[in-house]
Amino acid sequence: MRYLLLTLLLALLALPAAAASKDPEADLKRVKQRIETLQRSVREDVARRDKLSANLRQSEEAVAEARRRLDDVRGRIRKSDARLAELAGERARAEKTLEEQRDELAAALRTAYVTGKEEHLKLLLSQKDPAALGRMLVYYSYLGKARAERIGEIEQAVARIGELAAQEEAERDRLAALEAEREQEVAAVEAARKDREKALTAVKGQIKSNEDTIARLRREARALEKLVADLRKALDQSPVPSGQPFERVRGKLPWPVPGRVVASYGQSRGGGLKWNGVLIATERGTEVKAPYAGRVVYADWLPGLGLLLILDHGGGYMTLYGHNEQLYRGVGETVAAGEAIATVGDSGGQARPELYLEVRKGTKPQDPRKWFRGSRP
C-alpha cells in the first residue's frame, strides 16, 4: 500500500514536467497570437458598444502617433546638430593643419631663396671631397622632395576643407528642412489634441448625473477585470520567465515615475467602487520605467485607462500602467528593469497627465505601496 501511494505521489509530481512544452518559442508565439486576438476583440467590443468611446480612442491614438512623429523629428534634429558640430570641428582642425603646413613651406622657401639659385654650382666649386659633395646633393634633393610633398599636402588640405564646407552647407539645409518638419508635427500634435478635446467633450455630454458617472466607472472596471481574467487564461501556457521570482522583490521596486500620488489603493471612488491601484500626477511625456523585468502582454487602448500597457512578471504577477501618451513596446516583447516602456499622458479622458499603476497577483489587485520603495514616488 505504501509503495502504491509513493508511486502515485511520484507520478503526480512528474505531471508538470511531462506537461511542460519542449518548444518555449512556439508557446510564446501561441500566447502572443491569443493576446493579439484578445486585443482586437476588446477594440471591436468598444466600437460596437460605445461609439463615443471609440471616437475618443481614435483621437487619443492620433495624438500618440503625432507625438511619436514629433519625437522622431526631434531625434533627427539632434543627430543633425551633432553632425554639424562634428563637421565644424573637423574643418577647424583641417584649417589649423593647413596653416601649419603653409608656415613650414614658407620657411623652406625662405631657406632656398637665401641659399640662392646657384646653390648646386657653389657646392661644386667649394667642395674638394667628391663624396661629401654627393652627400650634400642627395640632401638637397631630399629637401626638394619634402617641399614638393608639403605642397601636395597643402593642396589636399585645401580640397578637404572645401569638401567639409560643402558638407556643412548640405547639413544646414537638412537641418532647416527638419526644423520646418518639426513645426508641421507640432501643429499636427496640436490639431490631434483639439480633436481629442472634442471627442472627450462628447463623451462627457453623455453623463447627465452622478449615477451616470458611477455606471460608467463600473463598466470600465468590469472591462478591466474581464481583460485581466482573459489575459490570465491566455498566459497559462506561457513559459516562466527566468530570473529572481517577482514575489521576492516586494518592497524593493523603484517607482516607475516620479510624481505625487493623487489617488491611493483602497480609496473610495464613489458608488461602492475603490481604487485598485495608485494614480500618480507627473509631467506630460515623463518616461515610464519598468520596475522589474517582464514581458508585454497588453499594449492597447482600454476605456477608462486609455493607452494601457501590462507587464507579466511570472508567477501570476502583473503590473499595469494606464493613461499613457505613447507606448514604446508591443505584445510579446521582453523588457528589462529600468527600461522605458511608455510616456505619461492623459489618455482615457483624464484632465491632466497622470500614470495609473496596479499590481496584480492572478486577478486580484494588491496595494502597490507594499511593493515599491518608500510610501510615494
Higher pLDDT, 267 or 140: 267
Please say if the pLDDT value at position 342 is more than 90. yes
Per-residue model confidence (pLDDT) at position 205: 76
Per-residue model confidence (pLDDT) at position 159: 77
Confidence label for 46 from pLDDT (cuts 50, 70 and 90): low
Which of these ranges, 8-17, 246-255, 327-336, has the smallest mean pLDDT? 8-17
pLDDT tens for 281-323 read: 999 999 999 999 999 999 999 988 999 999 999 889 999 999 9
Number of H helices, E strands in the chain: 6, 12
Per-residue model confidence (pLDDT) at position 226: 86
Overall average pLDDT of the 268-281 stretch: 90
Please say if the pLDDT value at position 118 is more than 50. no
Higher pLDDT, 90 or 328: 328
CB-based contact 202:55 (threshold 8 Å): yes
| Most confident of the following: 118-122, 164-168, 271-275 | 271-275
Please say if the pLDDT value at position 177 is more than 70. yes
Q: In CATH terms, is domain 219-377 a member of 3.90.470.20?
A: no
Per-residue model confidence (pLDDT) at position 229: 86
What is residue 323's DSSP assignment? E
Higher pLDDT, 108 or 343: 343
Higher pLDDT, 93 or 10: 93
Per-residue model confidence (pLDDT) at position 7: 42
Please say if the pLDDT value at position 207 is more than 80. no
Q: How many CB atoms lie within 10 A of CB 218?
A: 14
- For the chain, the average pLDDT equals 78
pLDDT tens for 54-65 read: 788 888 888 888
Q: Do domains 74-200 and 219-377 have the same CATH topology?
A: no
Q: How many CB atoms lie within 10 A of CB 188?
A: 17
Whole-angstrom distance, CA of residue 308 vs CA of residue 313: 16
pLDDT tens for 141-170 read: 555 566 666 677 777 777 777 787 788 888
CB-based contact 213:272 (threshold 8 Å): no
pLDDT tens for 13-22 read: 343 433 445 5
What is residue 128's DSSP assignment? S
Strands 334-335 vs 340-344: parallel, antiparallel or unpaired? unpaired
When the candidates are 3.30.450, 3.30.43, 1.10.287, 2.60.40, the CATH number that belongs to 74-200 is 1.10.287
pLDDT tens for 65-98 read: 888 888 888 888 888 888 878 878 887 887 787 7
Per-residue model confidence (pLDDT) at position 8: 38
Which of these ranges, 179-193, 255-269, 304-318, has the smallest mean pLDDT? 179-193
Domain ranges of the chain: 74-200, 219-377
Higher pLDDT, 341 or 219: 341
User: Minimal CA–CA distance to 271: which of 219, 224, 311?
Assistant: 219
